[in-house]
Amino acid sequence: MNKKIGFGIIGFGSIAGHHLKAINDLEQAEVVAVSARNTSKLAENKNLEGVKIYSDYDQLINDPEVDVVSICTPSGFHLEPAIQAAQAGKHVIVEKPLEIDIERSKEIIAACEKHNVKLACVFQNRYSEDYMKLRKTVDRGDLGKLVLGNAYIKWFRGQEYYDTSDWKGVLSGDGGAALINQSIHTIDLLLEVMGPVKSVRGKITTLTHNIEGEDLGVAILEFESGALGTIEGSTSIRAGFPEKLEIHGERGSMILEKGELVHNLNGMVLKDTNGGESGASDPMAIDYKLHSAQFKEFVDNIINDTEPRVNGNEAIKSVEVINAIYKSSRENKVVYLS
Ligand SMILES: NC(=O)c1ccc[n+]([C@@H]2O[C@H](COP(=O)([O-])OP(=O)(O)OC[C@H]3O[C@@H](n4cnc5c(N)ncnc54)[C@H](O)[C@@H]3O)[C@@H](O)[C@H]2O)c1
């Protein structure tokens, strides 16, 4: 059997465990190394038996057994390891958001292009079965002309969520808060379905937390197609409601709630109440299976030299729109993207 593709994970906090499980579930890949600033706890982690542990990510990147680097550092610290990995000729998969602003995101894309390595950004919700059904239905034209798209992310995080992190809600580490950290998943889906955005009018505020970033943001989008859209994203809404994506076309509507279709073109869908999952009130209440689906595709992309579905140019779209919402709110004006 051919050698498995070796993954190294940089940053080993909350989400890295999902990467570890998702990668090790695959036949053709395995995690060979992890790096974290504080390695003392990692030595006791049973899931890391046989995995090399580095305190310095340079060593991980330069390990010849590492073919792909998976970046799980805070959002504003994706750039440096991504560039170093690309320079070392390693493929890169980076957690969402690609980076906290457009310039830093573009630098990652340019480095991966220059060094001819694959780049993907984790947006695992694109891999939910019901979302893919929705997309296919829209792409086939079954909804007719798209009229309106809404992303509602009325989630809740307590102050302790921010107080126990040195980067969440901090502008240099998170780039903002509720929109760029939590709401970005549903915003990414909205943008993929509705297409390019022409203009954004947004308002953000911080009402119930002591943080630098926003805990509430609302925006009106005008798509190039002429359709309109809205975003309502928050970490202040008790007790945290399942996120919703609503797509309305001239011939019907499709509504996705926590990744499950609750309304399709023919009407209401009966739901299995145990299905679906959401980080509405608990950040870790997400399974790793959707990460697995995206990692499987990335490994296939590497083996077959094909382009990842969520490549850099796809991933930067949500960063552009969220940064436009921030700018619109700051400058109290409509921001044009195209
Ligand atoms: N896809 C998802 O559903 C999902 C869920 C949670 C987090 N995330 C993303 O994953 C990333 C990490 O989030 P988390 O909640 O696991 O964070 P975390 O704070 O729990 O862990 C971050 C890790 O990075 C290390 N680190 C911090 N600063 C670093 C630096 N400058 N250089 C190198 N290492 C550094 C920390 O020691 C820690 O091991 C973020 O970008 C976040 O947006 C994605």
- For 239-261, give the secondary structure using H, E and C: CCCCCEEEEEECCEEEEEECCEE
| SS3 (DSSP) at 111 | helix
Q: How far is the CA of 320 from the centre of ligand 1 (A)?
A: 21
CB-ligand 1 contact for 73 (6 Å cutoff): yes
| Atom 35 of ligand 1, nearest CA residue | 73
Measured in whole angstroms, the distance separating CA 28 from the mean position of its chain's CA atoms is 24
| Atom 25 of ligand 1, nearest CA residue | 11
Phi and psi for 247 in degrees, rounded to 5?
Answer: -120, 120
| Atom 19 of ligand 1, nearest CA residue | 13
CB-ligand 1 contact for 165 (6 Å cutoff): yes
Q: Using alpha carbons only, what angle is made at residue 61 by residues 45 and 172, rounded to the nearest 5 degrees?
A: 80
CB-ligand 1 contact for 13 (6 Å cutoff): yes
pLDDT tens-place values along the chain, 338 residues long: 578 999 999 999 999 999 999 999 999 999 999 999 988 889 889 999 999 999 999 999 999 999 999 999 999 999 999 999 999 999 999 999 999 999 999 999 999 999 999 999 999 999 999 999 999 999 999 999 999 999 999 999 999 999 999 999 999 999 999 999 999 999 999 999 999 999 999 999 999 999 999 999 999 999 999 999 999 999 999 999 999 999 999 999 999 999 999 999 888 786 654 556 778 888 887 889 999 999 999 999 999 999 999 999 999 999 999 999 999 999 999 999 97
Distance separating alpha carbons of residues 51 and 30, to the nearest angstrom: 10
User: What pLDDT does residue 271 have?
Assistant: 66
User: What pLDDT does residue 28 have?
Assistant: 97
CB-ligand 1 contact for 161 (6 Å cutoff): no
Residue pair 187/152 in contact (Cβ under 8 Å)? The answer is: no
- What the chain holds in terms of domains, given with CATH numbers, is 5-125+288-307 (3.40.50.720), 126-287+318-336 (3.30.360.10)
CB-ligand 1 contact for 84 (6 Å cutoff): no
Q: How far is the CA of 12 from the centre of ligand 1 (A)?
A: 7
Give me the half-sphere count of Cα atoms (radius 13 Å) on the Cβ side of residue 73: 23
Record the tokens describing residue 196, joined without a space. Answer: 């390019």
CB-ligand 1 contact for 75 (6 Å cutoff): yes
User: What pLDDT does residue 275 have?
Assistant: 55
What does the pLDDT look like over 197-236, one tens digit per residue? 999 999 999 999 999 999 999 999 999 999 999 999 999 9
Residue pair 102/71 in contact (Cβ under 8 Å)? The answer is: no
Q: How far is the CA of 9 from the centre of ligand 1 (A)?
A: 11
Of the candidates 305, 313, 75, 314, the one whose C-alpha atom is nearest the C-alpha of residue 174 is: 75
Residue pair 95/187 in contact (Cβ under 8 Å)? The answer is: no
CB-ligand 1 contact for 14 (6 Å cutoff): yes
| Atom 14 of ligand 1, nearest CA residue | 14
pTM: 0.97
Distance separating alpha carbons of residues 319 and 187, to the nearest angstrom: 10
* Bond before 285 cis per omega within 30 degrees: no
Pocket test for ligand 1, best of 72, 167, 184, 292 (most atoms within 8 A of CB): 72
